Copies of this chain bind each other. A is one copy, B any other.
Amino acid sequence: MRHVAALAGVGVKTVSRVINGEPNVSPATTAKVLAAARSLDYEPDLHAGNLRRSDGRSRTLGLLVGSVDNPFAGAVHRAVEDVALGRGVAVFASSLDDDPAREQAAVSAFLRRRVDGLILTTVSESQSYLAPELRRGTPVVFVDREPAGVTSDTVVSDNRDGAAMATRHLLERGHRRFAYFGDRSTIRTAQERRRGFLDELGSAGVATRDIPVVEDLHDEAAAQRAAIELFTRPDPPTAIFSSQNLVTIGVIRALRELGRHRDTALVGFDDVPLADLLEPGITVVAQNPQEIGRIAAERVFARLDGDDSPAGRSVVRTRLIARGSGEITPRHEG
């Protein structure tokens, strides 16, 4: 900046004024400064400015998702980016991998870089470590999973209702023998989905005591193995509810392998790519990651704009998409 000022024959403050579009600079001076900046390939240093700037904003956001390599996270990320772009804010994205250590490391990395706000998917038992930062006024929005130990804005899917809706869908087709496949039972979201499933069966008068509830399946292969194992036992279920993306895919692979995909009903929570092109198409309770990301980003910016209303909880509705697998009726036993 000093070089630009020297080349343009003005003071540094004048350069600063031109760069930031502040008033009280004559057009002639402006032109000189711009020309000098161009010829020196000058790019202002945003961080240096921040150090002294009154609002202290880095125009930067930290986003922590399950994994950036994952359709749900990608959609959330994209929605956040779209909102941030309009504000001239850049987004740091990191992957959680359901690892509490990574959660803390990522948050710390964001904070050291003085992000203006945080959008977080969490996995550790408590987010109370964020309390000082919240007190300092940094906006934090939790997405997909609710926080514990602190209160802050949260955006989640209606996990329980969505799971209940899926279950009702299967009950209405006459199923009475169910199985549940879910991911890590420590994850709140997973608990909610299981609860929605079991409660709905309970209300329908189905004895939930004997229903196989297989949990802690965190990848396709584990889900596939678990499903195959279940189907080699007597009286396999006629209907399956799978509580997550990868689990659903693992179950599909298992049913194919067993030749059971046309006579076993399946509804998955969370949409699966190309689910409509499979045979049968996969019926799912689809989340709305775009909406989750958009709302989360808008909450952050509202807070930055001074909104100091109490922390809120936004619930983004899920939607049942019937494609075939959920409409299979119970087979008659041999």
Contact = CB atoms under 8 A, between A and B. Distances in A.
Interface stretch (A8-16, A88-96, A174-182, A191-199): A88-96
Q: How many copies does the complex hold?
A: 2
B77 A93 contact: yes
Given A51-B47, A77-B68, A114-B47, A41 B133 contact: yes
A125 interface: no
Contact of A78 (B47, B51, B69, B113): B69
Nearest to A105: B85
Given A69-B77, A114-B47, A253 B273 contact: no
A256 B273 contact: no
A28 interface: no
Contacts of A69: 71, 74-75, 77-78
A249 interface: yes
A332 interface: no
Contacts of A273: 71, 273-274
Contacts of A114: 45-47
Contacts of A256: 277
Interface residues of A, number: 50
A43 B249 CA distance: 42
A41 B109 CA distance: 14
A227 interface: no
A77 B63 CA distance: 14
A70 interface: yes
Interface of A: 41, 43-48, 50-51, 58, 60, 67-71, 73-75, 77-78, 81, 85, 88, 90-95, 108-114, 132-133, 136, 249, 252-253, 256, 272-274, 277-279
Contacts of A68: 68, 74, 77-78, 81, 93
Nearest to A50: B47
A47 B278 CA distance: 50
6 contacts: A47-B50, A51-B51, A68-B81, A90-B92, A90-B109, A272-B274
A280 to B, nearest CB: 11
Given A90-B94, A94-B90, A279-B279, A112 B50 contact: no
Nearest to A75: B69
A123 B33 CA distance: 30
A321 B41 CA distance: 47
Nearest to A77: B68
Contacts of A74: 68-71, 73-74
Max chain B C-beta neighbours (<10 A), residue from A68, A91, A274: A68
Contacts of A70: 74
Given A69-B75, A75-B69, A95-B78, A112 B278 contact: no
